[in-house]
Structure 1
Amino acid sequence: MAIEILQLLVQSADTWLFEGNLSGLSDREWMALRFLAGANRFSRTPTALASFLGATRSAASQIAAALQNKGLVVRKPSAEDKRSIVLCITGEGEKFLERDPINLLRDQVEALEAGERSRLHDTLGRVLTGLDVAKRRHRADVCSRCMFLVESGEGKDRHFKCRLFRKSLTPKDTTLLCAYFEGRS
């Protein structure tokens, strides 16, 4: 059964993982663009991108430069640390993501019943966590599941804060990817 599941995962990857360029982007550039589009403000840096891609900072900077040269990303000074830069998706980058080959797979997952999606999410999450431990790497995930997220209040008085960065978060921030994610025990 494990081999059959692996074969299915490989077949699903065929819909979005490819050799060479598709629409002018390599696999790593697609991964970077997807990550930056869904990342929170703390994770849109070359260092966080490198961590997500499992690449050196230099390699991540080269990927970001390629995306910038294609008009999909811009580099901006960080509002919080003037020594740092933030990588931001441009309007052209957002339009480009509408044609992302992974959208076909997303649509099939969205078509599943809620319970099936939840089980698939939890199961794949456990598999990825096991792979991360085995490879001694760190996985990005959404703030809402992070041990650093602190919630207070209710309703309109509900507030969120990241204990790691000691910054307030908006409700939308809690749904975005963070390269500094730490799961709750």
Structure 2
Amino acid sequence: MKVANEVIELLVQSAGTWLFEGHRSGLTDREWMALRFLARANRFSKTPSALATYLGTTRTSASQIAAVLAEKGLLTRKASTEDKRSIALSVTPQGTKFLDRDPISALRDQVVILELADRTRLRDALRQALRRLDTALRRHHTDVCSECMFLAERSKQKGSHFECRLFRKELALKETELLCTHFERRT
């Protein structure tokens, strides 16, 4: 229990480097979370509904956050090419540049200098803890496509390609490392 408490305290202290009250660089915590998420989300998760799922809030609140980010020129909102009834949210070039000032970058930079094996163990341990917590709290888990049960790798003559079986759409290799709110863990 002592080590578990120390781990929690260290996570709380690390959050202090990027969680704050009010605004930092003109954004609230939730706006930073939304911008980070949308910069790493796959094309199926760049909607107000998916953003609401990720943030653990209502669709109305997520839409308001997206509107603020759009007003600041960090995000665009337009009709989805996948579903005309839906809105697609995209980070603008200005938003991508703005992410260079992300307060969480200092923590990421410290994780980057860890040995690869240590980074991998840390990632896997946190992923496992969050999955269990999401299950206990009956929350939906968001994760990368490469870990999802819906991802299928298909062989072609010129190499492999990927497909999301949920959406029945092809995915590029780089898309398999993006976040998806429709994620389902492999059993």
TM-score range, shorter chain: over 0.9
Q: How high is the TM-score relative to the length of structure 2?
A: 0.96
Matched letter for residue 123 of structure 1: A
Unaligned runs of 5+ in 1: none
Structure 1 residue corresponding to 2:154, chosen from 137, 152, 155: 152
- Inter-CA distance 93–6: structure 2 relative to 1 (3 Å threshold): same
SS of the residue corresponding to residue 5 of structure 2 reads helix
Distance 1:51 1:176 in 2: 16
| 1:156 CA displacement | 3.8
Q: CA 1:102/1:85 → structure 2, altered by over 3 Å: closer, same or farther?
A: same
CA distance in 1, matches of 2:144, 2:132: 18
Q: Deviations over 1:44-74 (max 9, x none)?
A: 0000000000000001001101111111001
2:124 is aligned, of 119, 122, 140, to 122
Task: Write out aligned runs for 1:84-123 (5 A).
Answer: 84-123=86-125
1:155, distance to aligned residue in structure 2 (A): 8.5
Q: Work out the CA distance in 1 between the residues paired with 2:82 and 2:182.
A: 17
Q: How does 1:46-85 map to 2 (within 5 A)?
A: 46-85=48-87
Following superposition, the deviation at residue 154 of structure 1 comes to 6.7
Work out the CA distance in 2 between the residues paired with 1:175 and 1:60. 23
Please list every run of 5 or more consecutive structure 2 residues that lacks an aligned counterpart in the other structure: none
Percent identity between matched residues is: 63
* Equivalence map 1:14-25=2 (5 Å): 14-25=16-27
Q: CA deviation at 1:157?
A: 1.9
Look up the match of 1:31. Answer: 33
1:13 to 1:87, Cα distance in 2 relative to 1, 3 A:
same
Q: Provide the aligned C-alpha RMSD in A.
A: 1.1
| Counterpart residue identity of residue 9, structure 2 | Q
TM-score (norm 1): 0.97
Structure 1 segments, 4+ long, off by >4 Å, are none
Q: Say if 2:46 is the partner of 1:44.
A: yes
